[in-house]
Amino acid sequence: MKSYLLISREIDELTKDVLSRSEFREAEEIARSLGMGNKSMRREARYSLIEIVKPPPKRPLYYAQDEIAGLPQSTRNSVRYLGDYVDLLVKAMVFELTKDPRCKKSSLGSNVRRLNPEKHAVSPELVNNLRRYDFLYYNPGKHDLSTPPPDREHHFTSIETVFDVFVTFKLADEIKTVSHLAELVSLEKETIEDMS
């Protein structure tokens, strides 16, 4: 199997837990086109992903779009900027639910730990999936500067990056249904600094 189609078991499980079957098949098809398709198929696959990653908010989604245009090579920064988007929405959601001002400066993992499904209007599944997302995508995408494992050219393969696009926007939709403030932040009608 070509390295661009390698996928870690944990990322595969997260993707299957978050996406519907049809979404999973669509992501898989785009990943296959990106990894094994001809030049025109790869261009079409990148275009499909760029359409999904449409701003607002301008930052970090413009950055993510720019990196996605460089796939299948620029996987790490694509993952990082997608994670920045989830982090931004989680900050807004946690602030709205907890009123804790520390969340504005806290990491994604710290903010997810502040969520308590028994006290806050958030499902245990969303909290669990956000924990997994942070562990599998965002934290390594932002902080792991080590050399990739020997069987990989990059820390994230192109299929893992495509799955990240789909998982990111599915989680973002769930966050926005829980939090009006996250919805406003996603539309650039509110910023983290404005939250009081």
**CA angle in degrees (0–180, nearest 5) for 192-190-97:** 60
Q: Report the C-alpha gap between 102 and 95 in whole angstroms.
A: 8
Domain count along the chain: 1
Query: The domain containing residue 41 runs over which residues?
Result: 3-186
Is 193 domain-assigned?
Answer: no
For the stretch 72-82, pLDDT in tens is: 888 989 999 99
Is 15 domain-assigned?
Answer: yes
Is 194 domain-assigned?
Answer: no
pLDDT score, position 194 = 80
For the stretch 103-157, pLDDT in tens is: 999 999 999 999 999 999 999 999 999 999 999 999 887 766 555 566 656 578 9
Q: CA 87 from chain center: how many Å?
A: 9
Burial call 29-56: b when 16+ CB within 10 Å, e when fewer: ebbbbbbebeeeebeebbebbbebbebe
| Both structure tokens of 186 | 């996603």
Is 7 domain-assigned?
Answer: yes
Question: With contact defined as beta carbons under 8 Å apart, do 192 and 185 qualify?
Answer: yes
Rg (CA), the chain: 16
Percent of the chain at pLDDT above 90?
79
Q: Taking residues 84-105, report their average pLDDT.
A: 96
> Does the pTM of the predicted model rise above 0.75?
yes
